[in-house]
Amino acid sequence: MSTSFPFTTLEEFLFWEDRPAYPWSCFNRLHFRGQLDRSKFEQVVRAILQRHPLLHAKARMRGRMHLEWIVEAPQPVIVWEKGPVGGPFPPATHLDLLRETGIRFRVISDGCDSDLVIQFHHACCDGIGMFAFIHELLIAYALACGATGEGLRLPPLDPEELAGRGKFGLAFGKLARMLPKQAVGLLGVRQFLMRSAIPIVPHEPADDNDAPSPQYPAILTGTLDTSQSATVLQTATRMGVRLNDLLAARLFLALVEWRSANPIPSDAWLRMMVPVNLRTQANHAMSAASLASLVFLDRRPLDCTDPERLLRSIHDEMSLILSHRLGFTFLFFSRLLNLVPGGLRRRSRDRRCAMTCILSNAGRIFADSPLPQQEGNLVAGNVRLMSFDSVAPIRPLTCISFAVTTYADQLSLTLHYDPSPLTSDQAADLLATFFRRLLSP
């Protein structure tokens, strides 16, 4: 028997951002020492999906523009392959929510190690929802393998929470108190609409309905060792800023340096999209969903001539965004667009460059896991999680996205790039430039 949920405004935005040429999918790759037991893993996947309705739901149109989720019994797509692990990401295709559920699994084994690659449609859940789902999968698999231990159990979830996911705990009184601070966000909306962002390289994007590149997803990854990762955190602490602030500032410096070296002279606006978490303590028992929003940081090359001043300006801007809860501004603006039928879709499909790049930092993942550890790596039954890569989507004219995770005290950067305007050598040089900037004092 199926269940239905109306889409929230954020889910509609994420749905319309998806297109065949530029799938709005996120990927997560778990590299294990050891082999996943096929029977146990497939049983666990079905059991954990039952706890997360939006991950076994399809989208359905209601009328011409309204969307709803249709939740049915989990029938996950799980592909098992023999082959090399830890190298390039396996090729993927567009995930169409109107025809299939928003999650796919791929297990690749070389006889000793194995990779688990999970593709999520971003409308189903945000990064925090993805990582929570994956963590439950690891715990359930360990239990299926006979693991025991204090606290080794699945976290409780409240099935009633999902219905209120679009309200963000904002009763009328809270919303009324927020509105004066949201007035500050109107300036940001004006700047967003008035300024013209540019892509990292000039190019014509593919047609929306084209097939994705044969190289999709084109991914490059790199990981700092524990000493280097600690140095980056110490730099942020010494300068009195958050790690996110440091990442954003150093990425702007890397973009300007890389464009100058290629050379692509321009003093136009570079725009960075940064997801922000809108969860509160009241949402801790909600199953996987999108409870995030987007904020945008704009800088020109001339704003990046003084690295310390750039960092301080980003810290101050992000502090204002967080203190005034300006992550809600994007959602309020999207709701206004949706007052006109099709307004949000038209805005999403605008052919102008909306942002230069995406920067998503997941922070320390699985930091409080009850799973046992071996040499700092989580052990789930008969496998040990050696590394974790996370991939953010790209979109037309936004041909690069960076995802940052910290696992086992090692900070990893994953660059997802469009291989049509960027060669693999150019992408590698950009990633190396970001690393070098990040490690500079």
Give the model confidence (pLDDT) of 389-437 as tens digits.
999 999 999 999 999 999 999 999 999 999 999 999 999 999 999 999 9
Q: Is residue 127 part of a domain?
A: yes
| Angstrom distance (rounded) from CA 282 to CA 161 | 9
Q: Which among 124, 144, 163 is the end of a domain?
A: 163
Same domain, 273 and 419: yes
Q: Alpha helices of 156-223 — where are they, by DSSP H?
A: 172-194
Sheet holding 3-6, edge to edge: 3-6, 66-71, 57-62
Q: Which among 134, 163, 192 is the end of a domain?
A: 163
pLDDT band at 3 (very low <50, low <70, confident <90, very high): confident
Same domain, 256 and 310: yes
DSSP bridge partners of 295: 274
pLDDT of residue 214: 94
| Angstrom distance (rounded) from CA 430 to CA 221 | 12
Sheet holding 292-299, edge to edge: 218-223, 410-417, 400-407, 357-364, 270-277, 292-299
The token duo for 290 is: 């999108």
pLDDT band at 149 (very low <50, low <70, confident <90, very high): confident
Q: Is residue 377 part of a domain?
A: no
Same domain, 207 and 286: yes
pLDDT of residue 177: 63
The residue count of the chain comes to 441
Q: Is residue 382 part of a domain?
A: no
C-alpha angle 377-148-281 in degrees, rounded to nearest 5: 70
Same domain, 346 and 413: yes
pLDDT digits (tens, 9 = 90+) for 176-224: 566 666 666 666 666 777 788 999 999 999 999 999 999 999 999 999 9
Structural domain boundaries enclosing 412:
167-364+395-439
pLDDT digits (tens, 9 = 90+) for 319-339: 988 988 888 888 888 888 888
How far CA 325 is from CA of 22, 89, 121, 241, 318, in Å, comes to: 30, 36, 26, 18, 10
Assess whether pLDDT exceeds 60 at residue 172.
no
Assess whether pLDDT exceeds 50 at residue 1.
no
pLDDT of residue 63: 75
Sort 216 into a burial class: Cβ within 10 Å, 0-12 / 13-18 / 19+: buried
Number of domains in the chain: 2
